[in-house]
Amino acid sequence: MSIPRVSALELREIRAAFDHPEWIFEVKFDGFRCLAQIEQGACKLISRKAITYKRFEDLRDALPTDVKCDEVVLDGEIVVLDSAGKSLFYELMRTGAKPVFAAFDMLWLNGQDLRSAPLLERKRRLHRIVRGNPRRILRVDHIKQHGKALFAEICRQDMEGIVAKPAISPYKTIRGKSPWMKIKNPDYSQAEGRGEAFNRWR
């Protein structure tokens, strides 16, 4: 079976963080949303709008050696991180920056479509295929239930926000809506002047 054409699941923005025993919460990395498709030793990086990135050649070359499988589709974010693991959005737009792929989901693995599997099962399988000392891939961790505490810490550290996901959710819309939600830090310093900077980069 060939890899299907897939689209990145959208994030619905809500205003406030919350706690829930059946949800998980992740750091929202600040970069370029991306599907990484690896097949026959080659990698494509595909944007949220289904455009193949022409930049990030070093990242594309490194990712096939960082995963332990023949073919896979990963969902994640292309980011540049500082020594503390915080996203540096403006560094990502510099030619000399060294980006990594922050992977938080897996949609396809070695001929098997995983989009109907529960989220936590997909994440467990993702962790198993990433090699022990990857060069360019970061496995995004999560916490269960305690979204408010994570959001408070994210804001304290001046990071972009968090993402909330039902632990059993499939990778598809439910009643026409994405089950994933983002809660953004209203005081995030790197949000200032974002539109103008991005237009200059393009």
Q: For 23-37, how does the pLDDT look when each residue is reduced to its tens digit (9 = 90+)?
A: 999 999 999 999 999
| pLDDT per residue as tens digits for the range 51-106 | 999 999 999 999 999 999 999 999 999 999 999 999 999 999 887 789 999 999 99
Q: In sequence order, what are the beta bridge partners of 87?
A: 81
Q: How many CB atoms lie under 10 A from the CB of residue 43?
A: 21
pLDDT at 183 over 90: yes
Identify residue 126 by its one-letter amino acid code.
L
Q: Which of 121-130, 131-140, 154-163, 176-185 shows the lowest per-residue confidence on average (mean pLDDT)?
A: 131-140
pTM over 0.85: yes
First CA to last CA across the chain, in angstroms? 36
Give the total residue count for the chain. Answer: 202
Give the homologous superfamily in CATH for domain 12-201: DNA ligase/mRNA capping enzyme (3.30.470.30)
191 secondary structure, DSSP code = G
pLDDT in the model for residue 199: 53
3-state SS class at 104: strand
Cα-trace Rg, the chain: 16
Query: Which residues are CB-contacts of 161 (< 8 A; sequence separation ≥ 6)?
Result: 28, 151, 154, 182, 183, 184, 185, 188
3-state SS class at 38: strand
Q: Which of 11-20, 70-79, 147-156, 191-200 shows the lowest per-residue confidence on average (mean pLDDT)?
A: 191-200
3-state SS class at 189: helix
Residue 45 CA to residue 32 CA, distance in Å, equals: 10
Helices (H) and strands (E) in the chain, counts: 5, 11
Question: Model confidence at 157, in pLDDT bands (50, 70, 90)?
Answer: very high
3-state SS class at 40: coil
Phi/psi of residue 128, nearest 5 degrees: -75, -25
